[in-house]
Amino acid sequence: MREILKTHFGYDAFRPLQEEIMNAALRGEDALVLMPTGGGKSLCYQLPALLFDGVTLVISPLIALMKDQVDALVANGIAAAFLNSSLTDDEMDSVRFRALSGELKILYVAPERLASYGFQDFLRQLRVSLIAVDEAHCISEWGHDFRPDYRNLKDLRRAFPDVPVMALTATATPKVREDIVAQLGMPSAPVFVSSFNRPNLNYVLRQKQNAFAQLAQLLETYREKPVIIYCFSRKDTESLAESLCAAGFRAAAYHAGLDRETRARTQDEFIRDEVSIIVATIAFGMGIDKPDVRLVAHMDLPKSIEGYYQETGRAGRDGLPSECVLFYSFGDKRKQDFFIGQIAEEAERELARAKLAQVIAYGETDQCRRKFLLEYFGEPWDDERCGSCDNCVAQPKESRDVTELAHKVFEAVMRTGERFGAAHVCDVLRGSRKERIVQNRHDTLTVHGTARDVSVDLLREVIRLMQKQGYLQKNDGDYPTLCVSQYGRQAFEDGERILLPISASEPVRAFAKPSRNATAGGLAFDQDLFDQLRRERKAIADEHNVPPFIIFGDRTLQEMAFYFPQSRERLATIFGVGARKLDAFGELFLAVIRGYATERGLAERPNPRQPVRPMVASAPRRSSTISQTGELVRQGLSLEQIMVERKLSAGTIIQHVTAILGAGEDLDIESLRPSTARLTAIGDAFRAANTSFLTPVKEILGNDFSYDEIRLARLFLTRDQQN
């Protein structure tokens, strides 16, 4: 299994519980697997599939995710396919033929297909070795994402009574786990519960004040990195996306009300790194297997903790530090309350209210947010502080005497009849003459304008802390109005001194800083080389019509940009580089690394990992894309002609040529030679700079010469000098 792990998937070691789960499957046992998003669930059935004689059947409700999973498996040299409504009849016939002929090792199907005419007859003709049920919580009415089609799995289980079933989910409370086991008829199945803790994720809550300005400031730190922003309504997604575009960000809206073509295009642009920010309703994300999302932000309250955990789980699936920010306002509760009130069935309505109450508790808590989430899912968390959520990283605040301001708040709440929320109370105290203030004659109150010199942020923080300490309460009902508690009235009447833990200079909590020590991926890699490798990855991905992360993940590129591997053997030690990808893409990435290292005089760093034996033993094979470029060069085509023929950039063509020459092959490159005048100018610049590095030469030549042209010229200058 470890040999397959490295050869096909490029990993050196299993994550916690993976090996035990795989062994259970190979013994023919059922299993319930609870593992957080990004924890490696898919590998638990994908790797055993290669050891079974027959096919592994994977039930997945997510069409887009099926395609990404299959693309990734094929890139790793694994025979996989899917059957769903996105295929034509001819394409479905082709997949069925491959399955019946025994060619496929993994077949993905949507749950609704199980009920289609003749499909189970087709399945009975297959040699099914394992049934994997992804997103298994969808089978439970107690789950947050119940799907009736999942009930068809009972029939599937009856049709294959001797085939082991592996049910997998990232979000399941103890009650949902019991329901999954009962519905799938696997009462004796072992339950593998991986920790729900995602140590690379930082959980942050921001008070929802000037939310757009706060969001824009945050997005500046994540510019050009993948971000998902969740909003409550379709209208909100569109207006926020427009505002972000106007502010200079690459953003697009996504919601169920858009036509299918627009949704598909937006999703495709996001996974291919052509749009960096998606502003969406919860309709977006379940079908996304994009591992490098660095930020997930919620602009409104989620419906449940399960939903929030799953949505935030789309950040940092590659294990690298990422951030989850919730812009919180108790006032948003009434939006959710309205829709909960539309639920006809009382039991379902009460369940929705209970789930929302947990979300409010999460927003109001002063304890560690990580601890709150883990204990919600029944996982004990002994540490009181995680060190990376906003509550844990916030500097302790000394209690300040705010008696005078607090008493003004008491007076404003009572004199306005205890019928208004915090925003209205702040407006009264700061002397606002908004229409609502004037209509209610609150501009005539003696308390009106008595806190003009106090910032609205500080006033809101005082009111929030007065609620937490029991001086104020929120009234029940559709609108979050404030009232003074009995405890608060006594304090006000007695002139009690009121101390609150509030900072004079920064009342609103700061963002938690991503911890570089949160994962093994926190290497001090070379950012410039990483950026070059990302560009190369994007070019290869576009050529193969797959998302960039299918080629290599960010962690793989970061390790390349840290260790500077110079050979196939050393590249094979990099995380995520398996034998198939080494053969397919290795020379392309080695050409970039070698060129970068040579230009800057950088030496290869020793990597503690050792190559797996079969990878060293396998004979090097020239990447097909490099070979195609080499053949066109041998035919005497010019650089421009090859660029048109291959639909590749000049830089990629030059890297292909460099890789061929670097491997010691004889290649006549005269058809690529620059003009005599330009070659002479570049040669003079190299001599003047007295270096073989490109940057000093480029500075001498200026913008009339590109790095690509200088790199190509250097090939000729070196060959001419040697001859």
Residue range of the domain that includes 573: 523-621
In the chain, the number of structural domains is 4
Q: How far apart are the C-alpha atoms of 480 and 472, rounded to whole Å?
A: 12
Q: Domain containing 146 — which CATH number?
A: 3.40.50.300
SS3 for 95-112 is HHHHHHCCCCCEEEECHH
Q: Establish if 569 belongs to a structural domain.
A: yes
Q: Establish if 703 belongs to a structural domain.
A: no
387 and 483 fall within a common domain: no
**pLDDT tens digit string along 373-413?**
998 888 888 887 888 898 888 766 667 888 999 999 999 99
**pLDDT tens digit string along 221-275?**
898 899 999 998 899 999 999 999 999 999 999 988 888 888 888 888 998 899 9
Has residue 513 got a pLDDT over 50? no
Is residue 501 within 8 Å of 398, Cβ to Cβ? Answer: yes
12 and 155 fall within a common domain: yes
Nearest to 141 by CA among 104, 173, 106: 173
Has residue 562 got a pLDDT over 80? yes
372 and 404 fall within a common domain: no
Confidence of residue 722 (pLDDT cuts 50, 70, 90): low
Q: Establish if 671 belongs to a structural domain.
A: no
Q: Domain containing 552 — which CATH number?
A: 1.10.150.80
**Within 601-637, where are the H helices?**
613-617, 624-634
Per-residue pLDDT at 219: 94
Is residue 327 within 8 Å of 390, Cβ to Cβ? Answer: no
Q: Is 399 helix (H, G, I), strand (E, B) or coil?
A: strand
266 and 332 fall within a common domain: yes
What crossing angle do the helices spanning 707-722 and 676-689 adopt, rounded to 10°?
80
Per-residue pLDDT at 616: 37
Per-residue pLDDT at 332: 82
226 and 342 fall within a common domain: yes
Note the maximum CA span of the chain: 98
Q: How far apart are the C-alpha atoms of 578 and 614, rounded to whole Å?
A: 11
Lookup: tokens for 586 = 């290795």
Per-residue pLDDT at 695: 65
Is residue 289 within 8 Å of 62, Cβ to Cβ? Answer: no
Q: How far apart are the C-alpha atoms of 554 and 538, rounded to whole Å?
A: 12
Q: Establish if 251 belongs to a structural domain.
A: yes
**pLDDT tens digit string along 673-685?**
999 999 999 999 8
Main-chain dihedrals φ then ψ at residue 576, nearest 5 degrees: 90, 0
Chain centre distance of CA 274: 15
Distance from first CA to last CA of the chain, Å, rounded?
51
Has residue 622 got a pLDDT over 60? no
Per-residue pLDDT at 719: 77
328 and 206 fall within a common domain: yes
273 and 361 fall within a common domain: yes
Average pLDDT of the chain is 85
**pLDDT tens digit string along 100-113?**
888 899 999 988 88
**pLDDT tens digit string along 440-452?**
999 999 999 999 8
Last residue of a domain, one of 343, 366, 393: 393
Range in 521-525, 538-542, 546-550 the model is least confident about: 521-525
Q: The pTM is what?
A: 0.66
Q: Establish if 154 belongs to a structural domain.
A: yes
Strand order across the 165-169 sheet: 80-83, 106-109, 55-59, 128-133, 165-169, 31-34, 191-193
307 and 260 fall within a common domain: yes
Q: Which residue has the tokens 């950040």?
A: 315
Q: What is the mean pLDDT of residues 618-641?
A: 74
Per-residue pLDDT at 512: 36
Per-residue pLDDT at 432: 92
CB atoms within 10 A of CB 264: 14
140 and 277 fall within a common domain: no
531 and 577 fall within a common domain: yes
Main-chain dihedrals φ then ψ at residue 336, nearest 5 degrees: -70, -40
